[in-house]
Amino acid sequence: MTEAASPPPGRAILGGSFNPPHVGHLRLAIEAREALGDLVQGVDMVPCAVPPHKAQRGMLPFDLRADMVEACAQGLPWLRCNRMEAQRQGPSYTWDTLCAYREAEPDTDLYFILGSPDFALLSTWHKGLDLPRLSSFVVVPRKGHTSADFITAAKTLWPDAAERAPLLSACPCMTLPGGGLAHFLSVPWLAVSASRVRQLWLTGRNVDFLVPDAALQILRNNAQTVRHHWLEDGAVC
């Protein structure tokens, strides 16, 4: 009797503006990849084309941000940049992105990575409460949020959510309506923000070790464009 084929490894997805990508993004991708282990074949960083919850002012052109993400992924064969959101018109909704993944890879389990504040606000996202139909979540604590805060947020968003045995080592897990799971990945969050990087860059300060060298070189090669766009958001008073 032939054994049933194992399902293909899943894929983790890390979305963001990446304006610019910084070491916090890369470390998060690495931590998630290591925690998920054999459950995933790799991590996709998905630059947002038209952020639904952020102003467009101060946003670098999509291709420039995606070029930096691709440069950061060099040398990490399991990490890649997916430019799919630039192929759609209108706001870059996570629902639409995950639907596109589902259509392209219907048998692949998806793991959407996000911070705990965003997880708690999923009811404000476009079809946010329906996302477990498409993907599981990997929730990373920020702002001192604990596993108890994670459980409370899950039950507030989905009253039928239930705790279950962890699939990842020492990571509390919730079963969500729609079939997806939510994993609380308790890893240190590097206190690096893109807004701080932009402020430093515009005032001529050193951003070494905040931005990966490959991305920093692209910023330097496009300094005039970068300065033009970043000054639009009033980052420097």
In a domain, 42, yes or no: yes
User: Does residue 209 share a domain with residue 133?
Assistant: no
User: Does residue 199 share a domain with residue 175?
Assistant: no
Q: Please give the Cα distance from 33 to 157 (Å, whole number).
A: 26
* 92-151 tens-digit pLDDT: 999 999 999 999 999 999 999 999 999 999 999 999 999 999 999 999 999 889 999 999
User: Does residue 202 share a domain with residue 167?
Assistant: no
* 142-187 tens-digit pLDDT: 988 999 999 999 999 999 999 999 999 889 999 999 999 999 998 8
Residue 84 near residue 97, CB atoms below 8 Å: yes
What percentage of the chain exceeds 70 in pLDDT? 95
Domain with 88 in it: 10-184
Q: Where are the beta strands (DSSP E) in the chain?
A: 10-16, 40-47, 79-81, 110-115, 136-140, 162-164, 173-175, 181-184
What is the value of pTM for the model shown?
Answer: 0.94
User: Does residue 111 share a domain with residue 91?
Assistant: yes
In a domain, 65, yes or no: yes
pLDDT at 197 over 80: yes
Query: How many structural domains is the chain composed of?
Result: 2
User: Does residue 32 share a domain with residue 138?
Assistant: yes
- Residue 171, sorted as left (phi over 0), alpha (psi -120 to 50) or beta, turns out to be beta
User: Does residue 154 share a domain with residue 76?
Assistant: yes
In a domain, 171, yes or no: yes
Average confidence score pLDDT of the chain: 93
What CATH number has the domain bearing residue 32?
A: 3.40.50.620
Task: Read off the pLDDT of each residue in 34-57 and give the average, rounded to a whole number.
Answer: 91
